[in-house]
Structure 1
Amino acid sequence: MKLTKTFKAFFESEKSGGLLLLFVTIVSMLLANSSFQTEYIAFWGTEIGNHSITHWINDGLMAIFFLLIGLELEREMYQGELSSIKNAALPIFGAFGGMIVPAGIFLLLNFGTITQNGAGIPMATDIAFAIGILSLLGNRVPTSLKVFLTALAVIDDLGAILVIAIFYTDTIAYLNLFIAFAIMGGLFILNRRKVHSLIPYLIGGAAMWYFMLNSGVHATITGVLLAFVIPFGDGGKKTSSYRLQHFLHYPVAFFILPLFAIANTCIAINSDWHEGLNHPNTIGIMLGLVVGKPLGIWLFSFLAVSLGIGTLPRDLKWSTILGAGMLGGIGFTMSIFITLLAFKNDGEEVITYSKIAILVASFIAGTIGFLWLKFNLKPAKAKKQSKKV
């Protein structure tokens, strides 16, 4: 099993970052339901320029997160697990299943209602949280399972980006969109002319973000687009892609994602909070993440292997693929992100109940996934002893 050094660094940072996300989420929710509730919630709504602090985090800093996702996806396509069609087919098919089935379950309950726009919510996977939970299993986890879950989550997030671009864009200012893509074209020319300095790409990326923001298309998409015009070269330590990816690991894991989690989980929970979980929207979110995710990932992965398109790594069983699918149901930050876009015109109540449903579903998915894998994976020592016998 091929595991790039950059992937190892990515996995380690996301592992620790996932545990930090859990901590800051608990702190944020405690503050939002304490005597500081009014001041705390008002702080995140404070306007800087024309937008609130939360808006700047969601539209600005999250673009950097998606830049890292794009760089990681590019590396895996050139050098890692996605470089071979046979190897790539398993997480690609799994990711498609993990998007289609949850969205289908949600639409069965919400089609034709005002909440049908939320179909994208259970499609997403929170990489940091999923890897953080997986890391708690220590040496039980085979390398191929780490790669499968990470590749699955990265492709999942790419799918979420496409969903955002296609379904959650209201009106498009085509001139601004044209300018953004023209800048991208200019950066691509620099790439082909072997300009390796990061400065023009970062300046161009900032300009792309500005015009994308003002085009009506969600600005975070700029991150992924920029990743694919930054020179990859041979993928070595001196290349622009490697240097930027290596630099971004820790700021994203320990600053950007925790800040996003804090800003978007300051949820004031009333005594009747559970009543909102009976709505088709919240039921669809929870069933999509807890049931749809593992079912879709397992079924489509099995389909890929059955058709001979993909292969199941030797150190994985179908039960561990199902466990990875359960962890894929941890939507958390990505699902909340899509919630804010899907229901931005539908009032605060539907957003709040959707967030609660996401938190409940992510907790259930993470707990079940952890226990399932702990039961099905043997510790490294036990594996060695069983081989000797």
Structure 2
Amino acid sequence: MTQPIDEAMLNAARAARRERIYRLVRPLEEFGSTEAASGIVIVIAVVLAMIAANTALSSYYDDFIHYHIAVDLGFFHLDTGLQHWVNDGLMVIFFFVVGMEIKREVVAGELAGGRKVWAPIAAAAGGMVVPVLIFFAIVDDPTARQGWAIPMATDIAIAVGVITIVGARVPAGLKVLLLALAIVDDIGAIAVIAVFYTEDINLTALGITVGLLVLVYLMNRNGIEPILLYVVVGLFAWTTAHESGIHPTILGVALGIMTPLQPLYRSTVMPDLIEALMRRIRVIEQEEDVERRHHDRVGALLTLSELSDRAISPLDRIEHRLLPWSAFLVVPLFAFANAGVDLRGGALEESMSSPLALGIGLGLLVGKPVGVTLATWIAVRLGAELPAGVTWLGIFAIGLVAGIGFTVALFVTELSFEAELLLTQAKVGIFIASVLAGVIGLGMLYAASARISQR
């Protein structure tokens, strides 16, 4: 009677272990698949926002995004619209996930070292520098030039969604290159936001924020595990960061990077621990006292569950739980709250002919692929290695796909301008360039994949 139970438990333990190992060794694949699905939701959110802003629903849309929410904690008071809460509050979650992904890639991923690391770094650098140069060559108005960082951005969610449409025909190396490029691009965008889009600094609030980050570090170092404690400290840090003048999303990145990547139990010791626990379970199943057998069995299985959890790093565990909320709630809500541009009354034609829209549009549509390809070519000439199966046509194609700017570009736009006219012009440039980059990039990905399959 105990043999089937032992066998079932062993099979369950093996299945659980395979699942845990899968989560440990395939985080990038899981991240990419979630981001791809999120890209579809983001596009839907953008379309809905544009419909709402350009129809009889526009007044309801404006009321929604400007609906005031007040929070008064005594030491902190903020009374602002929903759009601001999304941009400065909920987007911290998105950048927290980005920070964790950056840490994984730098510590244990494609950016961890070796000659292959230089190709995505160079590609991202070229994809940021060339669009900015094009922007400055076209835009000469000092106020409009405040948006110089807008064409630097890549929307990783939609970019991954586009490359996923082509499916398995796209070489795995090309997908990895795009993801690594986008991660480095995120690092660049975060650095720009931190340095160039920071308001006057309140040193007292900044000092408290740094102190709270040190507290989080010490909590990590001393193995303090309850997530609620980190949430409380993080919320306090957000209030002080908001008061300090730095953008609160930088706090999200910092907390993400500080999240431990090392599990408490290494995967190499897990088989021995599980086998020892299974031997204990076999002994328990021989117990004649039914109540005691049930009690001990539950205790052993709970221990098995705890062992499995401790074999997963805090970073992997938190990201696994938080990524769907970020991908399917936070970012689409951000897109809906910021993408609604009223193009009625000739605003579209006027915006399309503006230097600002042209500078952003050409920066994304032309600067990205040219910069990515040229910088990658230089890096390869200097000794960098490309992933297997990657061609120059494929690199140019992912450069185009990287020209899809939506989320981060819209985010930088909101930081850059207050005037409604400049906001409209910038968003029109982003939308048109992103759509064209996605369509043309998709076609070139098909062409590049066809060439590879013919070899």
Band of TM-score, shorter chain: over 0.9
Q: 2:157 aligns with which of 128, 132, 136?
A: 128
| Residue aligning to 2:175 | 146
Q: Distance in 1 between matches of 2:176 and 2:334?
A: 25
Q: Distance in 2 between matches of 1:67 and 1:222?
A: 8
Q: Which amino acid is 2:152 matched to? A: M
1:378 counterpart SS class: helix
Q: Distance in 2 between matches of 1:300 and 1:4?
A: 30
Shift of 1:271: 3.6
Q: 1:52 aligns with which of 81, 91, 107?
A: 81
Cα shift readout 1:201-229 (whole Å, capped 9, x = no counterpart): 33222222111111111111111100122
| Residue aligning to 1:365 | 437
Q: Please say if residues 176 and 214 of structure 1, whose CA atoms lie closer than 8 Å, have aligned partners that are also in contact.
A: yes
Shift of 1:79: 1.9
Structure 1 unaligned residues grouped into runs of 5+: none
Q: Does structure 1 residue 299 correspond to structure 2 residue 371? A: no
CA RMSD of the aligned region, Å? 1.7
Q: Please say if residues 197 and 240 of structure 1, whose CA atoms lie closer than 8 Å, have aligned partners that are also in contact.
A: no
Q: Distance in 1 between matches of 2:371 and 2:57?
A: 42
Q: Which amino acid is 1:67 matched to? A: F
1:35 counterpart SS class: coil
Q: Which amino acid is 1:274 matched to? A: E
Written as runs of structure 1 = structure 2, the 5 A alignment for 1:293-332 is 293-308=368-383, 310-332=384-406
Q: Please say if residues 4 and 80 of structure 1, whose CA atoms lie closer than 8 Å, have aligned partners that are also in contact.
A: no
Shift of 1:26: 1.2
1:125 counterpart SS class: coil
* Bigger CA radius of gyration: 2
Q: Which moved more, 1:322-331 or 1:248-257?
A: 248-257
Shift of 1:238: 2.5
| Residue aligning to 1:26 | 47
| Residue aligning to 1:68 | 97
Shift of 1:23: 1.6
| Residue aligning to 2:4 | none
Cα shift readout 1:47-95 (whole Å, capped 9, x = no counterpart): 1111100100011111100110111111112222111232221111111
Cα shift readout 1:273-314 (whole Å, capped 9, x = no counterpart): 112222211111001000011111111111111111x20122
Shift of 1:112: 5.5
Q: Does structure 1 residue 354 correspond to structure 2 residue 416? A: no
Q: Distance in 2 between matches of 1:307 and 1:4?
A: 31
Q: Please say if residues 391 and 448 of structure 2, whose CA atoms lie closer than 8 Å, have aligned partners that are also in contact.
A: no
1:220 counterpart SS class: helix
Shift of 1:356: 1.2
Using the size of structure 2 for normalisation, the TM-score is: 0.80
Q: 2:448 aligns with which of 356, 376, 383?
A: 376
Task: Give percent identity, aligned residues only.
Answer: 37
Q: Distance in 2 between matches of 1:200 and 1:306?
A: 50
| Residue aligning to 1:260 | 334
Q: Does structure 1 residue 5 correspond to structure 2 residue 29? A: no
| Residue aligning to 2:280 | none
1:136 counterpart SS class: helix
| Structure 1 pair 197–146 and aligned structure 2 pair: CA distance change class (3 A) | farther
Using the size of structure 1 for normalisation, the TM-score is: 0.93
Q: Which amino acid is 2:427 matched to? A: K
Q: Which moved more, 1:44-53 or 1:79-88?
A: 79-88
| Residue aligning to 2:361 | 286
Q: Which moved more, 1:149-158 or 1:126-135?
A: 149-158
Cα shift readout 1:314-361 (whole Å, capped 9, x = no counterpart): 2101110111100010001110110010113xx111101211111011
Q: 1:88 aligns with which of 107, 117, 127?
A: 117
Q: 1:245 aligns with which of 319, 322, 344?
A: 319
Q: Distance in 1 between matches of 2:202 and 2:326?
A: 30
Q: Which amino acid is 1:170 matched to? A: E
Q: Distance in 2 between matches of 1:134 and 1:23?
A: 18
Shift of 1:7: 1.0
Q: Which amino acid is 1:32 matched to? A: A
Shift of 1:132: 0.7
Q: Distance in 1 between matches of 2:179 and 2:409?
A: 17
Q: Distance in 2 between matches of 1:195 and 1:242?
A: 17
| Residue aligning to 1:37 | 58
Shift of 1:111: 4.3
Q: Distance in 1 between matches of 2:66 and 2:226?
A: 38
Q: Which amino acid is 2:355 matched to? A: P
Q: 1:180 aligns with which of 201, 209, 226?
A: 209
Q: Which amino acid is 2:380 matched to? A: V
Q: Distance in 2 between matches of 1:15 and 1:152?
A: 16
Q: Distance in 1 between matches of 2:30 and 2:36?
A: 10
